[in-house]
Amino acid sequence: MPPSGSAPGPGTGPDTGTGPVGGPAVSRPPTIADVAKAAAVSRTTVSHALNGLGKVDPRTRERIKKVAAELGYRPNLRAQRLRRGEAKAIALASSMPFAVAGGPSRLGFYMEVAAAAAERALVHGYALVLVPPVRTGSPLYSVDIDGAIVVEPDQDDVAVAQLRERGLPYVALGRPVAAGDEAPYVDLRAGLVVDLLLAHLREQGARHPALIVGAGARHSTVDARAAYERAAAEHGWTPVVATASEQGGEEAGYAACAALLAEHPDVDAVCALVDVFAVGAVRAIRDGGRRVPDDIMVVTRYDGLRARTCEPPLTAVDLHLDRAADDAVELLLGRLRGEATAPVATPPEPRVVPRASSLRRTPGVTPPA
């Protein structure tokens, strides 16, 4: 406490939220005027010092920042956004239905990306707006954002169309497939993922693997199908490819696998890239009187909750989605800052996570879960 008669320090007094000695506390937060008064400068100087604007002497700038911190001053972020014409928010959008992207638990590919992207955006002072999968309507017209990350855009992607109409920058998580779409993207390397899964199946003894993919034209379907057909030609098996509607979820995967096995009974492995399709495929194999993995092995692309909780647990691929989401945020913010960014970001190489669904049993050895 200062001695009697001394002037109050910068952290006391009625203008800074603390009442005079013996008096009631003032509840209002300190304002920019309070900082200006305590630092003996103008409000404009305070604004420029705290926002990195104008020509303020470095020593004055640091003194103002120190006074603001001592007073507990917090800038009005909404006012700053209005002055700069920025929302300080980016969106995560996708046209993938929740039957595939999230599932009944809402915990899946889309939400794993969202969690990592939100954390990275916040580091840069941006909020992440999570837009439910865009199929119809106009959700992206109604949110105040500076740009967006579009998860695995389809050929005629609704989210991309709405962002273009608004003139907002976007980047893609996964290679864009639409002709002329030159948006920066994070390469999830769908072709390599299939190469790795098929190599694993061959190591486990598969000779007639089949492929089940979504009916759309996302990169994960287009690139995967091309990789599968190359492998079939190289290793001499007849290509067997089935498609299923993403909207149909697990039941669509079940139906596709059941029909495939009825027509091609010699199939000994199923690469169902969509994890929900793989879960349906396991049921179809069992309902058809066969065993997983003894008779038919099953693998999938995304190492998420469904893969780990399926019975048996599914062999899947670590796509390093946390790193991929970080890269997507950095690409987008680079565009917003007007920086010359690389057109493609590449996270670490995907890695197969072998589990019981594809590990053929040997006497005395139990495959890991």
Q: What is the mean pLDDT of each run of 10 residues along the chain (369 residues)?
A: 41 43 56 87 83 79 88 66 66 78 64 93 93 67 89 90 91 92 94 98 96 92 96 96 91 96 97 95 97 97 94 97 96 91 91 96 47
CA–CA dist 213, 194 (Å, integer)? 11
Dig out the tokens for 221 from the structure. 């379907």
pLDDT in tens, 78-119: 555 555 556 699 999 988 776 666 555 455 888 899 999 999
CB 199 within 8 A of CB 205: no
Name the superfamily (CATH) of residues 89-188+321-338: Response regulator (3.40.50.2300)
For residue 232, give the 3-state DSSP assignment: helix
Do the domains 1-75 and 89-188+321-338 sit in the same CATH topology, yes or no? no
CA–CA dist 279, 315 (Å, integer)? 11
Dig out the tokens for 98 from the structure. 């929740």
pLDDT at residue 158, rounded to an integer: 87
CATH architecture of the domain formed by 190-318: 3-Layer(aba) Sandwich (3.40)
pLDDT at residue 334, rounded to an integer: 94
Name the superfamily (CATH) of residues 1-75: lambda repressor-like DNA-binding domains (1.10.260.40)
Q: Where are the alpha helices (DSSP H) in the chain?
A: 32-39, 43-51, 58-71, 77-84, 98-101, 109-123, 158-166, 190-203, 219-235, 249-263, 275-287, 305-309, 321-336
- Given the DSSP bridges, would you call strands 89-94 and 127-130 parallel, antiparallel or unpaired? parallel
pLDDT at residue 140, rounded to an integer: 75
Q: CA-based angle 127:129:130, to the nearest 5?
A: 140
CA–CA dist 339, 325 (Å, integer)? 19
Per domain, the residue ranges of the chain are 1-75, 89-188+321-338, 190-318
CB 154 within 8 A of CB 99: no
pLDDT at residue 42, rounded to an integer: 87
Give buried/exposed letters for 139-166 (b at 16+ CB in 10 A, else e). bbeeeebbbbbbbbbbeebbbbebbeee
User: pTM for the complete prediction?
Assistant: 0.75
pLDDT at residue 9, rounded to an integer: 43
CA atoms 247, 257, 188, 325: torsion sign: positive
pLDDT at residue 203, rounded to an integer: 96
CA gyration radius, the chain: 28
CA–CA dist 237, 87 (Å, integer)? 54
pLDDT at residue 8, rounded to an integer: 42
